[in-house]
Amino acid sequence: MPPSALLEINGIWKYYGGTAALRDVSASLQRGEILALMGHNGAGKSTLVKILAGSTRKDSGEIMVEGRSLPRGVREAREAGIAVIYQDLSLFPKLTVAENIAGEPTGRWSYSLRASKRAAASTLQRVETNSPLLACLDRYVEELPLAMRQRVAIARALIYDSRILILDEPTAALSLQDADHLLAYVRKLARGGVGVIFVSHRLSDVRRIADRYLILRDGAVALSATPAEVGGNALARAMFGEPEENDANEPDRAAGLTRSNTPQDILTVRNGTRRGEFNNISLTLRAGEIAVLTGLTGSGRTEFAESLVGLRRFESGELRISGKPLSFSGPRSAMRHGLVYVPEDRLTSGLFVRRSTAENLVGATKHLRARFSFSRKETARADAGISNFGIRCQGAESPLETLSGGNQQKVLLARWHLAAARVLILDEPTAGVDVSAKSEIHKRLREWATTGAALLVISSETDEVLDLADRILVFHAGSLVLDGPRKEISREQLMAAMLHGSAVAEHAPAQARSEA
């Protein structure tokens, strides 16, 4: 029998409610190996990380560390040598740097502030030369800038001699220089025998550091291979899925669009810029058109969308609605001009989940007044919304929390439809809804567009982009790298633009196929 691997994952399943977040995931990690864990938002990366860290239970399957089964629990995982740096860092902002790094609970009952400070200092000296954190061991973490906080989280993960280090998007918030430093350090650890799982969107980082790729898609392993075995294109294919065969019938819909002759410009942005988020963005949204904006997490697409409705401000650049230069102080003033932003997190920032469906539907119209009950007109409007959008609920009075995710999303869309929005910006409108609700939502959005509204849909799902868009916009590292009609853009071009920021794919033939 060969010596057991450092980490062995066998057939892990995990369900949230009825949906499977992980489907039969198996993988292994050797000593000294750097495994890049990749996949789209919602592909199951974070769930896998949480299960390895012991903070989430798996439903079935087996995890072995050096041949021994991993017991449940966070401290147990830690004692087995697994250390995690979470994307949200999970620090204690009101405690000092030293306590964050070295104050982790141990089996003992006693605690010494002085000892934890010494341990923190020695770890910092080990991790990086002349760490700036050494000077602020007594400062509170909430006082530190983000890059410094990241260093605190890294030091915390490295304070014990961990054998397995899991980094969840460690470089996302770092400057290039800091990221370089981190990558070099991770490589050094790996040479010393530590197994590293590196979760990242940044393909450039992954290419430089990974010994092996593990790609998840829809909760299942889509690819497990060494860099020598796969080209960049296969990597992208595995992440985004195989092209579907229905590309051919797409032009039909585009033709339908041109029937609404002379598309009218509704919203125009010229040279919109926010330093560090996006640069010199110029684009136009036209009546009757669905533009889908895509890009990897951190590409600046959400920040840009928020700037359109005044949740952030353009530092420079100009926004025009129907030719009039405008700037909004927030969603309320944007609404007055018919511009509506529907954020991704519908439960916390979109809906009133404890209130009735009817109240949610008419919540954005001006006719709602404080009365003992709805007026007949409002009830009629709510009923119209329910039937128009095919919302399945037990009557207009049923609390929204009793509806399924897809139906909640339809309520949100119906609300803005009732409020007669002219420009609609939707951030991930189909995130977390089932397939049938998704196609229904797409259908409603297309109908909506034909009534003369301009839609900007933000999506990270390649299939959705290709399926829904009349026009495709791609952000990469804060720049608009691709802007064109759907029928002129192939899946390969789209993926190349998302991953590398280049509109030109490394391989030309694909383009020819879609032109045919």
Partner 1 sequence: MSSSSSVLGRLRLSFHRHETKLACLLFVLGIAIAAAAPRFFSSVNLALLARSMGVLLIVSVGMLNVILAGGIDVSAGAILAVVSVVLVRLGNHGLPASVVLPLGLLAGAGLGAVNAALIAELQIPPIVATLGTAGLFRGLLLEWTQGEWESSIPPWLNSIGSPRWGGLDASVLAAALVMMAAAWILHCTQIGRALFRFGDSPLAAARTGISARQPIYFAYVSLGLLTAIGAVFYAAQLGAVQGNAANGYELTVIAAVVLGGADILGGRGSLLGTFLGVLLLSSLQQALVLLHVAAFWQNIATGAIVLLGVILSSAPLLHRKLLLQQSPSA
Point out which residues bind partner 1 (CB under 8 A): 53-55, 73-75, 78, 84, 86, 90-96, 99, 103-106, 108-114, 117, 121, 137-138, 142-143, 145-148, 175, 275-276
What's the closest the beta carbon of residue 72 comes to partner 1, in angstroms?
12
Q: Are 488 and 507 in contact (CB under 8 A)?
A: no
Longest dimension (CA), the chain: 77
What's the closest the beta carbon of residue 137 comes to partner 1, in angstroms?
7
Residues in the chain: 516
Q: Which residues touch 355 (CB under 8 Å, ≥6 apart)?
A: 363, 399, 400
In the sheet with 316-321, reading across from the earlier edge strand, the strands are 278-286, 265-274, 316-321, 324-325
Quick one: tokens of 35?
């495994």
What's the closest the beta carbon of residue 85 comes to partner 1, in angstroms?
11
What is the distance between the alpha carbons of residues 135 and 85, in angstroms, rounded to a whole number? 22
What's the closest the beta carbon of residue 280 comes to partner 1, in angstroms?
18
Of 118 and 253, nearer to partner 1 (C-beta) is: 118
What is the distance between the alpha carbons of residues 41 and 218, in angstroms, rounded to a whole number? 9
Place of tokens 């125009």: 268
Of 106 and 271, nearer to partner 1 (C-beta) is: 106
Angle at alpha carbon of residue 332, lines to 327 and 336, rounded to 5°:
75
What's the closest the beta carbon of residue 239 comes to partner 1, in angstroms?
27
What is the distance between the alpha carbons of residues 512 and 516, in angstroms, rounded to a whole number? 6
Backbone phi and psi for residue 227, each to the nearest 5 degrees, phi listed first: -55, -30
What is the distance between the alpha carbons of residues 449 and 257, in angstroms, rounded to a whole number? 9
What's the closest the beta carbon of residue 93 comes to partner 1, in angstroms?
7
**What is the per-residue DSSP string for 87-98?**
TT----TTSBHH
CB atoms within 10 A of CB 392: 12
What's the closest the beta carbon of residue 456 comes to partner 1, in angstroms?
26
Of 86 and 389, nearer to partner 1 (C-beta) is: 86
What is the distance between the alpha carbons of residues 39 and 202, in angstroms, rounded to a whole number? 11
What is the distance between the alpha carbons of residues 116 and 113, in angstroms, rounded to a whole number? 5
What's the closest the beta carbon of residue 361 comes to partner 1, in angstroms?
30
